[in-house]
Structure 1
Amino acid sequence: MEDKWLHYENSKQTNDYINGLEKIHESLIAQMSPCERPWFVNHWLKILNLSECYMLKHNDECVAIATYPKIKDTHYYRWQNCTLSVKSGIEIGSLPRPVNKSEYFITPAQNSELAIGFSISGMKISISQVCTALRISENSKEQNPPLNVENRIVKNKDDAEASSSIFMTRLLEFGKDDFFNTYYLAPITHDISLIPTNKKRGWGVYSIDKTTTKPIASAYYSPWELPLGGPAAALVDDIVVLPEYRKKGIASSLQYFALNMLRQNGVSWICGNIEPNNFASLKQSENLGRRPWSITIEVKN
């Protein structure tokens, strides 16, 4: 059975949509600080402006909102994703637009777990990506690095080269056909090289062994915005530790060091995108305090 979705057409409907979004995203909003909550409204006002939006009601209550971006422009990259926000436990009869082969949507994680809390009649839904997130607390304290390890911020060309060298070791460890090496290695090392002259490229941190003075770990964070929420965030592009230095608390120490630096730069959240079957990265994310925030789902006929 097809549902009757209501199309967003003018500003008179705005309050109805925002109220519906606030109810559906209650679990996400509860994790945000009071001063961050206006960002949620601002975030969705932008989406309403840049997307074709639809609302589904059951018994006069909003149970789902779907958005499809109007434009495909790199200047509006963060708004190019379709979103599907559904009240937990609801079965949808249909989507507002027909699905050809498949369609991807960003939707809230259910209670910080890898679960889809709704269903769509006659369609298969699977998780294709997980966004884990951690709010940077004002009270978080920097964790001392392990003995003989020093954490540093990428500030100059030498820092950038030292940080990039750690990412390049992935070629030796996993080979050139590794997914990360194929799609992310070149852009990340390029962006790190630009940090000394363009702070808007992101933030880089790395660790050195004080005995040998060689770099042993590195992390890069690019500017982002908390999905479905709005506050300023930093996306963890990757954290790499040399194999012989792993399981010594270096990755955790480096993230705590980065959190302090990011907070000083006005960043409220730290996020990371992970494939759902990458159990090692999911475990590392959990150990570093990040929990599932949103998921990207694939909907198929």
Structure 2
Amino acid sequence: MLNDLPALDNRHVRTSTEDVLVDRVVPGELLVIAFGFVAWDKRPDFDFYGRLKKLEQHSGRHLNKILVRDSGNSWYHRKIGGLGAHPDETAEGLRALIREIRPSRVVTIGQSMGAYAALMYGMLLEVQQVVAFGPLSFLDPAQALLYHERRWLSVMRDLATSPPPSGYDDLQALGRRKAGALPDMHILFGTRPDQPDSTEAVNLDAMHAHRLAALGNCTLYPFPYSGHPVVQHLIDTRRINALLAKIIAGVTLAEESVDMTPDWQGWIAENLRLGGAPAELVEILRQHGFSHEISVRAVTQGAFEQNGVPRP
């Protein structure tokens, strides 16, 4: 019985050999189903457990949690131990867990491969909310070649060559086939050009995000200084906890901030010298994790020094 399960802890999550873990159940509370991201050199880790524990602390309420990983790195289209051998079967396994947990509402979450699963199973299970970081919108190799999407082409070709009994290789098509309301979808993605020396705003994650946005009921969160690993970018800039709290729990946290350094002060001075607009510099600093207050103060001080006026 799920109601008798003990609470998970970091050691159990880190050392488990299972593909699915269920945390201590409190019927009537929110349920978050977190899908892990790809790992080629080892078994994929479970994802978002620590972040969800922090969210519990910030919100003051228990979160029911189901942690899922795809040990075969097949974008959750093949066997998930304890749930099913293909997406329709896995979805039915998750439905059974949801029925037993009896949550107030269900949220799916993931990054990269886990983001595809969060969207796919979010639609199949008709959950209330999906939070997806840097998702693909399709696994069809023909579309991938059309869009020059070669990052995981080998996985797409494997699924196309030996398809599972059920599969969903285009999330946009899946959404359009859904008869009921779509989940409230939140897509967070980097927009920095994929090629290091590119002078064009070419970013495949942005393309996928806009394909998904065409479904409607979708909120986009572009981050111009991040590439594909947008979760790590949000961790580095100390914004991940506030974003999860706001999106999932509707809780507004106090703004976190990184510390202003001499290098950044030099960057501000150089950009002011070159005619950079103060408001634009403040927004760039905000995107790099500086609080609004610290950003405004640093740019204001830089402007005073630029004009030969002592700092106020």
TM-score for both structures, normalised by structure 1: 0.27
Which of structures 1 and 2 has the larger relative contact order (alpha carbons within 8 angstroms, sep 6+)?
Answer: 1
Greater helix share, 1 or 2?
Answer: 2
Greater strand share, 1 or 2?
Answer: 1
TM-score for both structures, normalised by structure 2: 0.26
